[in-house]
Each structure stands twice: as C-alpha cells, then as structure tokens.
Amino acid sequence: MPISATTTKTSPSNGSATVQPRDLRLAGIALATLLCVACASSTPPTATDTTADLATPGSVGMVDIRELVPDIDADIRYAGDDNFTGTRVDGYDAAKCYLLRPAAEALARLERELRPQGLRLRIFDCYRPERAVRQFVRWAADPRDQRTKAAYYPALEKGSLVPGYIADRSGHSKGATIDLTLLRCEDASPARCEALDMGTPFDFFDPRANTDHPHLDDAQRANRTRLRDAMARHGFENYPMEWWHYTFRLQPPPDTFHDVPIR
C-alpha cells in the first residue's frame, strides 16, 4: 500500500494537527538514519588500535632511513638483547630505523655533511612502537629482574627510572625522535670507524648521561657539544637528560602515537 505524502491531519474540533502512528514510524526511521550517518563520520581508528598489526611504518608516513642513506651505521639495540631490558623488545621484528620523511631527509643531509669531516652517525633507535614503551614500563615495575642493573642503572633504583628516563608515552612513537651518537672514521670504510667518547654508553640511566653534566672531561664535553650543534643545524632538539636523544622540530600533534610493528 503506498504511503501518502500527507503526514498530518487537522482535528475537526479545534483545527490542530494530530500525529498519526505512521508518522511516528517515519520519524523513527529518520532518526536512526541520522545516527548511522553520525557513526560513519566519527574519527577513524588511530594507529594504536588492533589494525596496527596489519600496517607498516610506511603506511603512517614513515620511511626507512636506508632508503636515503643505504650504508648508514644502524645499531638498533631493541631488535636484539643488547639493551637495558636484556631481551628483544616487542614490536621490533626487524633492526630498522623508520622516521617521518622530513626527519629522515634532515638526518640524511646531516650524514652527507659529516662524511667529508671524517665523521658519521650511529643510530640506536628511531620510531618506537607503543607496545615497546609498554614493555619498558612493565620492566621498570618488576623489581625481581635486576640482570642489567650494573650496566645500565648502577646508582639508581629501578622503580625510579619512570618517568625521568622511561616515559609511559614516548615521543619516539610519533616517528620524529632518534637516539644516536657520532663516529670518527679513518677513511671511507665504515669498518674503520670508532664511536666518540661521550662519557657514558647509550641508555645509561644516570645523571652523568645529562647532556651538560658538570663532571665531564674536556673531550667528552666537546664531543657532546659537537653532536648537539650538528643536530641543531638540521632541526633536531636535544633532550637534556640524555645526550643521545633528539627530536625533529616538525613533529606530529601531541596526541599522535603509533603502535605499528617494525618489519
């Protein structure tokens, strides 16, 4: 039976409009349609939801630094067990450095600038999936596991590492932060390069790792300053508590964090 275009009738007694049952049904259908449209236009899932396992860093705008500098020195510590947790870290399925393209291109320019000076970069970490950060926090909260204390935090209690040294949300998960050092090379061969003395190893959780720690010798201070000045020329800012930690000036908004595994 066809639906009439007229949806109201006038009452004979007072001339007012009365709503018929079919009008209520049509109104309900219209409301449901509006609600569905609102659901469809809501904010799409971020890279931190379960679909992250089907994505790659490239799918969220990142590039492997070796696409720009194929022979760059990369010692990605969290892809193996040579790190403060003593084990391979969640999300590091490959020893690769991914960065957002503007940060990667800036780093490539710096590498090209350094080589004629007999210097190179050595990369320890770049983009870091959120699942790795969660593993770091769980590790810090477990007082039973002290395997790496002597090498990484000899003067501090493990539980005190959060949040000063280990954050529960890391800028690395945005794709614009990098951990690295400088190498001095005798010739063009990467095999003839040695890391400059920075006063502490990478990921050494101690005040001596603070970039401007007062008890550095002249060579260590000069090496940290040289790294910081070089990074600053290409748009990277140092985190004062860690001489190795730098963030590119063009980074995503504060609420952008990714959990895409490194493959």
Binding-site residues from annotation for Zn(2+): 172, 179, 245
Phi, psi (deg, nearest 5) at residue 148: -105, 10
Q: Which among 67, 105, 113, 242 is annotated as catalytic?
A: 242
Check if the beta carbon of residue 150 is closer than 8 Å to that of residue 93: no
Scan for tokens 């790294």, then name that residue: 227
Active site residue 67: no
Encode burial over 90-119: b for 16+ CB neighbours within 10 A, e otherwise.
Answer: bbbeeebbbbbebbbbbbbebbeebeeeeb
Alpha-carbon gap, residue 261 to 57, rounded angstroms: 7
Strands 119-125 and 73-74: parallel
Q: Which residues are catalytic?
A: 242
